[in-house]
Amino acid sequence: MNVKNTVPRLQKGDLVGVVALSSVVNHEKLGDALSFLDELGLHYIVGDTIHATHDYLAGSDEVRLADFHEMVKNPEVKAIFCVKGGYGSARIAEKIDYTLLEENPKIFWGFSDITYLHCAINEYANLVTFHGPMLMAANKMDELSKKMFVQLFSPIEIQYTESISPLTTIAGGVARGELIGGNLYRLVSTLGTKFEIQTEGKILLIEELAESIPNIDSMLQQLKQARKIEQLAGVVIGSFTQTEANETALHNLMKEYFGDLGIPVVAGFKIGHESTNVGIPLGVDAYLDAEEKVLKILPGVY
């Protein structure tokens, strides 16, 4: 396994950057994001993208790219938090200076559309990144979701069991491997690009919002035909919300694609578009046991 470089942890009073690398920000909700950073004991600077607009994007590609680079280059900024998803991060991925980021490692946090950048940064800057709730949703986060930000300050053992949410074993087994992934639609959109997700020997996290079963089927089929599924070591199925189908239909579909691979596959993790959105690091060594229904990420590996 290609071990990713870790990023320095935060301390109370550190300066962090707040950016929007995708869709336009609703300024009425910005206060929730900044108040949450206050709760964490962090100081912040707000990037130009927070108030920028370019059609449906938080500023032109040039503005969003420059905002990200400025946060990376600023030695005082210890973390970069994305406040909004939507669409747009893929448009700047090719022009990001990944060497600059690798030489100035810092926490990068977000999910949904930011999945594209997780793939890119994991691969080209060789850094651990963090898949977690957008700060704009701070007022909707439950206490567990807020608690997961502690991992940015000090090592914790992340152990996700049924004490958090009911879990369903789709396929049995045990696996250890690098944890990758995120939003299913964005993962599929990397295929055929230089940022194409690499799955060999890895544990894949997938989550999705407001996609029908046929659409989810189509995306999984594309991953299959791209030969990404057959290479996996395990699958963590996160939140599939507003799918217009019941849980049984979703699990049956997952069993069709992952059930005969001889790898552990577990569904029901509250990781994704819900009020409980458990933040986890990507690009780290993880352990998935489908018999005991547990996902473990040990302290010291990120």
Domains with residue ranges and CATH for the chain: 13-150 (3.40.50.10740), 156-295 (3.50.30.60)
Please say if 118 is a catalytic residue. no
pLDDT at res. 155: 86
Residue 2 confidence (pLDDT): 66
Q: With beta carbons less than 8 A apart as the criterion, state whether 110 and 81 touch.
A: yes
Task: Give the pLDDT confidence score for residue 144 in this predicted structure.
Answer: 97
Q: How far is it, in rounded angstroms, from Cα 190 to Cα 197? A: 6
Token look-up 């893929």 returns: 90
Identify whether 143 is a catalytic site residue. no
pTM of whole model > 0.85? yes
Choose, from 123, 189, 273, 274, the residue flagged as catalytic: 273
Give ∠ CA 84-102-115 in degrees, rounded to 5.
30
Is residue 273 annotated as a catalytic residue, yes or no? Answer: yes
CA distances to 209, 240, 245, 276 from 212, rounded to whole Å, are 9, 10, 7, 22
Answer whether 54's CB lies under 8 Å from 22's CB: no
Which is the catalytic residue, given 123, 178, 207, 211? 207
Under-50 pLDDT residues of the chain? none
C-alpha dihedral (44, 45, 48, 51), degrees to nearest 10: 50
Q: 67-90 pLDDT, tens per residue?
A: 999 999 999 999 999 999 999 999
- The strand pair at 15-19 and 77-82 is best described as parallel
pLDDT at residue number 4: 85
pLDDT at 298: 81
